[in-house]
Structures are given as C-alpha cells and as structure tokens.
Structure 1
Amino acid sequence: MSDIPPKGVILPDLPNEIMLGIFHRCDARTLLSVRSTCRYWRNKLNSYEFITEMGTRWKSNGCSLFAHFGFSSRWATPLDWMMKINAWSGQTSAFQFPFLLTQEGWFHIIGVQNGIFCIRYCSMGKRTFILTWNPTTRKSSIMNDPGKHYCDDCAFFFSFVYYPRSVNYAIVHLFKEKPESPGWTLTMSTNLVRGWNVSLTCPPYVDRLDPDYVSLDGVIYWVSCLLHEEDVDPPCIVSFSVVTFTFHKYSLPTEAHAHCHNLLIRNDKLCLATNNHDDQSYSSTIWQADAINDDIIWSKLYTFNGIGVPYIPALFVDDNLLHIMERHLPMLDMDGMKSTYFHILKYNETNHTRKTVRWIQYDSYVKMKSIHKFNESFFPV
C-alpha cells in the first residue's frame, strides 16, 4: 500500500449523477440543508424526478395509517384525536399537528397525498384555515378558508389533488351558495396561485355526490349516492379534472349495484368496492377500471364474504386491502353506555388470507371519521 494520500476531489467537481446518487441516500434534514446553499441545488432537489425517486426509496421505510377518531356528539368535536398506525405491524405512535387546538377548535383531514396533509381546522372557534403540511420536512403553508363562499346552513366539501407528474397541487371546494340553490358551484386554489380565483357552475348530477373521494392523475372521483329511496337514477361515478376544468359522468358495472359503494386506488388504477350486507354477514366485490375514456371499462378483481356487521373497505396498501370492522357493544351494568371496538384487518387476495393489523378499544361511543395512507416524501408545500 502506498503511503501517499489519494488526491482529494473538490465536491462541486463531482458529476451531477454522482452527487444525486449521494443525495438519494441522505435524510430529510441533510437535504433541506443542501437545498438552502444555492439556487442551483434548490432547483435540482426540488425537481419532480428527484422527489419521486426519494419517495420510491422511502417507501421501504413502511406505510403508515392516520386514523381520525372522535365522539359522535357534535359538542365533543374539540376532543377528536389522530392515531398513527404502522400498516404492517400495527404499532401505534404519538402524532401531533403543527397548530394549537383549543377547547373551541376542531379539525378535518381533507386528504393525504404524496406525503402531504391537507387539513381544514379552526383553532379558536372563529376563523378557519386550510393547512398543507409535510410531516417529514416539517414544512407547512396556511391559507384562509373560503368561508365567504357558503352560508352556515349550506352543504359543501373539499378535495385535495396533485397535477400529473408535478410537485404542484390544487384544493377544490364544492358548495351551495344558498340552501335553496338548485345547483352547486366549484372554486379552486393552487399552491402556485393562492386565492379562490376559479369559479365554475357544476352539472346537475353533482347534487348527489358523496363527499368521500379519490384522486388520480389530476382527476378527482366521487360516487353519487341515492338521496331518497324513490330516486330512479342509478348511482354513478363523477369526475373533475383540474387540468381541463371539466366534469364527467361514468356508469357503474351492471352487477355493481349494492347497498353501498366506495372508491379506492390500487397500483395507480381506480377501483370500486361494492358492499352488500344483512344483520349477520357481508359480501364485498372489488372492481378495477382497466380503461377510462368516454366510459369506464370495469373488470372484477375478486369477491370475499364474512360474518359480522357491515363495513366499508378502506384502502389498498400494495395489493393488500385494509378494512375496518367497527362495533358498538353495550357495557355491563351501565345503562345506555357502549364500548367501541375497531378491528383493522388486512386481506390478501393472492393467498386468501386475513390478518389482524390492530385491535383498538374505547370504553365509550367512538367513531372513526376517516383513515388515510401515508408514506414519507420530500414534496414541497
């Protein structure tokens, strides 16, 4: 071995591909420090290609579930809480928002995508805000809630969607201007242009939308529901593209008429869960959209049955379907009091196995208001 030390290489003289290869193995804190050094590396480490590559690598760290729990009473909304659950081991950990909630406050998770939370909240019981937040980088952005767009008695809901192959996102708000208004209005804000500067009149079928949604490739999808038993129009799927500003209506499979429906995303494809149930058992079928043009071409993935109260499949983690059994049982020697059990199950269609991810029990009447899939990311807010 030579006793002559190797010639040093000045860091900036390394080729870009080697530098990026080094940065791909860094943690979030290091990358944030590098991004702040100069405009060149800020642009490089903020590019869609780099961020998506980091997201792919960080997926090996595991997927988390964020479940929003709360009491059924409206007066108890300030007591809502979030629980972080490992999607494979079921291990739980503490979770804290980057804002203060008082006794008059409340929060609602609009959506979680690309490792970014979109949260509507009220801290002091008066003004409401919309927060986009990356827990990995601890960066956040706050904007005013468009409260002027609806009255206290008007229906409304929000959606959170990313543009295709982009680090940019949009927040879509659908609302009724007055309770007696015949139609709905859509406004939209983006991280590029703050403010609700888009205003569109929605088609008539938007009146029946379920607020739950999924988003894929810059398009938001909702399921229309039956408002009354005498409704003659069958359920359908409604979409809105944040790129073309257009709505579209799709039919469901003929055999997919069921007691309830909900949408899921599996391997970057739109899926539909149909659920039929009675007092003792349930039957669920998962459909996949193989093509989406003027209408959707559906294929049936699988059907599975079980014994228990009705439930809605929640989401896919890879090819595993995670769903939640929610039960409310009377407590012994306590009139009118009920305890709540949440059984999070993982169903694998390949080997037809069911595995318990987590049992959660509360000695009171508790509801799971939403559940979201989360993977760490480096997406900016």
Structure 2
Amino acid sequence: MSNHLPEEVWAGIFTRLPVKTLLQIRSVCKLFSSIISNPTFISAHIKKTINESHSHTLFLRYLIEKERQQEHYLLFTDSSDHKNSIFDEHNCRKLDFPFKTRSKCHFRIVDSCNGLICLNDDNDFDTSGIILWNPSIKRFLNLPNPRVTSRSYGSYMYVLGFGYDEKNDDYKVVRVAYKKGRSGRDLIPPEVELYSLNSRSWRSFNAGAPPYGIFGYTWLQAFVNGAVHWVGYDPCVVKGNESCGLIVAFDLSDEVFREVMLPSCLEQHAWDVYITVFWGKLAVLHYDYGAHKNFCSVWVMEEYGLADSWKKLYTVDLRGGLRNLIGFLRNDEVIGVTIRGKLLSYDLITSRINNLRLHGAVGGFHVGSYMESLVLLEAESAALARESITSGNEQEEEQATDLHAVKNRNDEFDDQEKLESFLSLRISEQNYSAYLCCGFSEQELSAKNSEEWVKELVPEANCDGWENDW
C-alpha cells in the first residue's frame, strides 16, 4: 500500500489554486509537474475557475498615438466588494507584451477565450500573422501559414473567428477568405480554413462554405454558445436597394455554418451594425448617425437562436463626445472612447460619464474578458517568453529559490522515496496559504475524513463540497 496521497487527491487540491502558484508547484517534483501539465487537469482547472470565480477580469489594450507599434495591456478585476472604479490605479496589473508587428500598425485582437488571446497581424497578408498567446504563463504559439494567401490567391479579404470547442476540448481558429471579382465585389462562396490546436494544422472544407458575405471592415467576431459570429448579408435576398443583413454563425464543434437573424428593424442597416457579447449573450451595437442625431443602440438576444427574443436594452447618446463603445461593465456601464482618444465609462441608468484617465489612439483600444489558465503549458511548438517562475519582490524570489532547491535536492531520490520524504512547503498567494505535504501514513489518512485533512493541507480554504471531487 502506498503511503502518499493519490494523484486524484492532489489534482483536486490543485484545481483550487491560482495559475501563478501552480507554476511554482510544478517545479517541485515530477509527480506535481505531471499532474499540472495533464490536459485533463488543465481543463478541470478552467471549469473550476469559471464556476467558482466571484470576480470578473477585463484586459484592456491601448496604443499611444506617437508609438502605435507599442501595445500596452492592462488587467483590471471587478469584484463584488470593489467599491471604487474598476479602473482604479491600485486595481491594475500590466502584462508584458513580447510581440512586434511586421506591418507598420498593430496587432488586431480577434478574441479571448479561457486565458488564450488570439492576435492577428492583419496588415501582413503574405503570412498568416496569427498568434495564440497565454500571457498568464508567458507562452505563445505562432500558427503556420494557411493555404489562402495573396501570393496564392491574388486579391482577397478575410475574417477570422476564434473560440473553444467544448465537445472535443479543442481551441480553433476559422478563417473565411473571399476572393475579389472583376467588379471588386467579394465572390461567394468563400474559401474556408480551420486551424485546430489539437492537430496543430489547417484544413479546408469548401463543401460547407456559407452562401453569405461577411462585412470585413469591422473585423469583429463574437464567440457565444459554442459558435463564432460575424455580421454579414445574403446576396440572394434584397430589401429595398440593399441585401438583407444577417448574422453568420460557425459552430466550432459541429463545424457547420448557419444563419442567425438580426432584429428585423436592422436588416437593412447591417452596415451600421457591430457584433459583440453582452454578459454571455449575443448582442449587436447599432450606430445611428445623422445631421441632428448620433446614437448607439444596444440589442441583446435574450434566448439564443430565437429571432423574436431580440431586445433593445439601451440607447447611448454619443453627442457628448463619445465616438464608439468598446465594452461593458457589471454595474450597467459601458466603456467608450472619445473622438480625441480619451477612455470614458457611461452609466446606462443615470447617463453619467466618468473619465477613466487613460488616453490613447482612437482606434487602438480594445476591452475583453480575461481569465488565467494553463492552456499552452505543454505545447510542443510554443515559445517560452520568460521563465515560468516569475518574481516580483524579495519574498517571491526567496520562495522560487526554495522551490528550485527542493527540486534539485529531491532529484537525488527515486519518485517513491521523494514522495515519502517530501518536506512541507509554504507558498503565499492572494492572502491565503497552501500547505502541501506528503508522507501521511495509511492510518493517519483513514483517521481523518476528507474535510479534516484537506483543511490541514489548505487551512484557510473553504472546503464545502470538496468531498464530491474525489
């Protein structure tokens, strides 16, 4: 009989720890590294984080007008006990951005999903320019070139989609490319290519290409309900003098295209409609410009797939200086940018405007949801931007040194002896302590119920419901 805790017990404990702590623990011994690097554990850690998180984290990208190729990424956490603005300077963490665009502009953010940010150097048409980046573990993956490029295809435009295939536990990038006809119009159907992180390759499936056009000038997508969405049009249906607008959806699990109807009043105004996500629901922004009007309406699909469930939630008056909306906050606020590049929040209930004291290039702001994860931790072709164990102060540096010392010392033993003689480590992280130790005898384990010894391992953790995990 083994004297150490089973792997599934360690995995259950580790799912409750933050990414930074897991990176430290991973360096302790081969067992811990094996557990934390396992794709099944990484998926379980993501689900646990999503289900138990009581806060919401946003990442903000902005560019300074004079340094357009220098991209700045900041993290802000919005929690229920946060009394001040989410954009308070004390609630800010800067991410190290290790990339430089080949074009003379900046990367475009396709989307963020489960800790991965999909970047596209969309002005570099001769190469793919697509990167999957996990800033919390400082790893990234350069995608290989797709089949359709300007060299192989001539003049064309394309749109990208990115999201998570829950059915197959896979992350996918879909690329929809439209060749230009002699009239300059996009030829339909397009060429479709799909990149799978599991297979590390692109594949084409032209038989399932959609009979719709997609407006590429917005470069926006929305990942909702397992599908990516773009605003497009049906060239075969004309209302008035315009093709009928609609939403083109691509299901990442079933790998099929389908259409989602816009609000009927917006079908002839699709050029002024932008796709987005409103707290997990599919939404669109409709900009209504005129001689004496400048408004943006926020529409939300309350029940996914039902055209009758579209509801106009708010209308934002842009005449006060706002140029466009770029995100939403929990407390009925939207984030917008002024025509002079100032970042503001707008209270949808009181119409109050708050200056967030950030200034940048008008087209260089992006706001998206973010969560830390371990995705790409063991990617074969991923590049490590920096050592996994990072240090921010003397205490963290000392902890990292101790962890390396333990790892080196225990390398002298075989796995079983290493586990039996393992010493207790203390890792401080986010105002709680994780006490990890091995060497419990079978009698000691049997004398304690699961809640008692889990509390001993992690004294300040909430153990409610932990028994169900093992």
Structure 2 length as normaliser, TM-score?
Answer: 0.62
**Distance apart, 1:112 and its partner CA:** 1.6
Task: Output the CA distance in 2 between the equivalents of 1:44 and 1:247.
Answer: 28
Task: Output the CA distance in 2 between the equivalents of 1:164 and 1:23.
Answer: 19
| Structure 2 spans left out of the alignment, 5+ residues | 78-85, 377-470
2:225 is aligned with 1:245: no
Query: What pairs with 1:38-187 in structure 2 (closer than 5 Å)?
Result: 38=31, 39-40=34-35, 42-43=37-38, 46-57=41-52, 60=55, 63-69=57-63, 79-84=69-74, 86=76, 88-91=86-89, 94-100=94-100, 106-121=106-121, 128-146=128-146, 148-150=148-150, 151=153, 153-164=155-166, 167-177=169-179, 179-180=181-182, 182-183=187-188, 184-187=190-193
What percent of counterpart residues are identical? 13
Q: Aligned in 2, Cα 1:354/1:256: closer, same or farther, shift over 3 Å?
A: farther
| Deviations 1:2-47 (CA, angstroms, capped at 9, x unpaired) | xxxxxxx96515972x862465134424356439733455438624
Task: Output the CA distance in 2 between the equivalents of 1:296 and 1:250.
Answer: 11
| Deviations 1:156-209 (CA, angstroms, capped at 9, x unpaired) | 121211113664210011113455462211100110112211322533322545
Task: Output the CA distance in 1 between the equivalents of 2:103 and 2:148.
Answer: 24
2:5 is aligned with 1:12: yes
2:219 is aligned with 1:211: yes
Query: What pairs with 1:298-317 in structure 2 (closer than 5 Å)?
Result: 298-309=310-321, 311-317=323-329
Q: For this pair of structures, how many residues does the alignment match? A: 350
Task: Output the CA distance in 2 between the equivalents of 1:256 and 1:178.
Answer: 27
- The amino acid that maps onto 2:232 is S
Structure 1 length as normaliser, TM-score?
Answer: 0.75
Question: Does structure 1 retain, via aligned residues, the 8 Å contact 2:284–2:299?
Answer: yes
Task: Output the CA distance in 1 between the equivalents of 2:137 and 2:282.
Answer: 29
Question: Does structure 2 retain, via aligned residues, the 8 Å contact 1:162–1:217?
Answer: no
Q: Which residue of 1 aligns with 2:465?
A: none
Task: Output the CA distance in 2 between the equivalents of 1:103 and 1:149.
Answer: 16
Structure (1 or 2) with the larger CA radius of gyration: 2
The DSSP-based 3-state class of the residue aligned with 1:12 is coil
Task: Output the CA distance in 1 between the equivalents of 2:326 and 2:180.
Answer: 33
The structure with more strand, counted as a fraction of residues: 1
Q: Aligned in 2, Cα 1:69/1:164: closer, same or farther, shift over 3 Å?
A: same
Question: Does structure 1 retain, via aligned residues, the 8 Å contact 2:11–2:41?
Answer: no
Q: Aligned in 2, Cα 1:105/1:147: closer, same or farther, shift over 3 Å?
A: farther
Question: Does structure 2 retain, via aligned residues, the 8 Å contact 1:58–1:375?
Answer: no
The structure with more helix, counted as a fraction of residues: 2
The DSSP-based 3-state class of the residue aligned with 1:311 is strand
Question: Does structure 1 retain, via aligned residues, the 8 Å contact 2:163–2:172?
Answer: yes
Question: Does structure 2 retain, via aligned residues, the 8 Å contact 1:55–1:378?
Answer: no
| Structure 1 spans left out of the alignment, 5+ residues | 1-8, 328-339
**Distance apart, 1:211 and its partner CA:** 2.7
Task: Output the CA distance in 2 between the equivalents of 1:221 and 1:103.
Answer: 27
Q: Which residue of 2 aligns with 1:318?
A: 330
Q: Aligned in 2, Cα 1:222/1:128: closer, same or farther, shift over 3 Å?
A: closer
Q: Which residue of 1 aligns with 2:402?
A: none
Task: Output the CA distance in 2 between the equivalents of 1:103 and 1:234.
Answer: 35
Q: Which residue of 1 aligns with 2:410?
A: none
Q: Which residue of 2 aligns with 1:222?
A: 230
Instruction: Tell me how large the CA RMSD over aligned residues is.
Output: 4.0
The DSSP-based 3-state class of the residue aligned with 1:197 is strand
